[in-house]
Copies of this chain bind each other. A is one copy, B any other.
Amino acid sequence: MSKTISIGIVGYGNLGRGVEAAIRQNPDMKLEAIFTRRDPGSITSGTPMVSIANIEQYKGKIDVMILCGGSAKDLPEQGPSLSKHFNTVDSFDTHALIPEYFGKVDDAAQSGGHVSVISTGWDPGLFSLNRLLAEAVLPEGKEYTFWGKGVSQGHSDAIRRVSGVKNGIQYTIPREEAVERVRGGSNPELTTREKHLRECFVVLEEGANAEAVASEIKNMPNYFADYETIVHFVSEETLRAEHSSMPHGGNVIRTGKTGLDKENTQLIEFSLKLDSNPEFTASVLVAYARAAYRLAQTGQTGAKTVFDVPYGLLSPKSPEQLRKELL
């Protein structure tokens, strides 16, 4: 194995902490520093904490920056500005804005001579890879993605904006009967309501009207109106005790037909069952950081997505080892 890959983490929330833990499981990497917008002295960690204002002092000292900020506000600014100076990896996940983001990061990374792998993680990321693979192998077929059971941050935020709600969390849950129909190969047409249901755990403000709150949530357009929505009222203590972990997961399933008379049904399924969504996303980011480093080593530059990165670059093993042990 070649030299140790030095890593920087930008942003120290759930995802950043997940990356910090994941790097400990990868002996070919070393965490050099964590960059934060907060006062570095206010955060305790085994790793040097540095103000993000000083990040350019680390040029040449850090092989890959793992960007752990949010897609709404942090990454649209940090992605292009940091890829000018560093190889980067991120989990930008606003699907509709990916082409625009790719363009900006590509320009910056090209100009700086760096590699930036954008939109890794699991969706976008591993799920995207499996959508592509299944479509390429089974062109005459139909693909279904199910998400959950897992917390949706956007829907949880929407609940918390309802008047009378003190706190709340929302789980997206795939309907097992829909998943089974898809696995059966009949390529069913499924409505939004048939694919997922939404389960909410809500803490009421004192004196709030539970019925009115439930009704407002269930009828909220875009977020809940098209779904079967279940609302439970719980105490703040219960919410904290039973609903503060961050599970998630889902399935990408495609069935397609093969044969001269298309008489055979073939099914490809990729699924995840995650106790911790941010820690898993972090683990994917770390594997792609290795790939970014290696791509840069071979002289490549610019923005890349998971579609551009051969799996071999994700593993610390050599090509010879991979062919011998894993093929």
Contacts and interface: CB of A to CB of B under 8 A. Distances in A.
Nearest to A307: B312
B266 A272 contact: yes
A287 interface: yes
Interface in A16-43: 17-18, 20-22, 24-26
A67 interface: no
Contact of A139 (B26, B130, B183): B26
Contacts of A310: 307-310
Contacts of A216: none
A322 B258 contact: no
- A interface bracket (residues with beta carbon within 8 Å of B): 35 or more
A276 interface: yes
Contacts of A22: 258
A132 interface: yes
Interface string A246-271: 00010000001011100111111111
A290 to B, nearest CB: 8
A6 interface: no
A285 to B, nearest CB: 10
Contact of A323 (B20, B98, B320): B98
Interface stretch (A69-77, A121-129, A166-174, A217-225): A121-129
B266 A99 contact: no
B98 A327 contact: yes
Contacts of A260: 17, 20-21, 24
A203 B24 CA distance: 57
* Most B C-beta atoms less than 10 A away, residue of A136, A270, A274, A280: A136
Interface string A289-327: 010000000000000011111111011100110111011
B309 A137 contact: no
A259 to B, nearest CB: 5
A59 interface: no
A146 interface: no
A138 interface: yes
Contact of A183 (B24, B264, B273): B273
Among the interface residues A129, A266, A276, which one has the most CB atoms of the partner chain B within 10 A?
A266
Nearest to A290: B136
Contacts of A236: none
A90 interface: no
A234 to B, nearest CB: 23
22 contacts: A95-B327, A132-B312, A136-B311, A137-B284, A183-B273, A258-B275, A258-B279, A258-B283, A264-B279, A266-B273, A266-B279, A267-B272, A267-B273, A269-B269, A269-B272, A269-B273, A270-B270, A305-B312, A306-B327, A307-B311, A307-B322, A308-B310
- 4 tightest Cβ-Cβ pairs between the two chains A and B: A307-B312, A264-B275, A136-B314, A258-B279
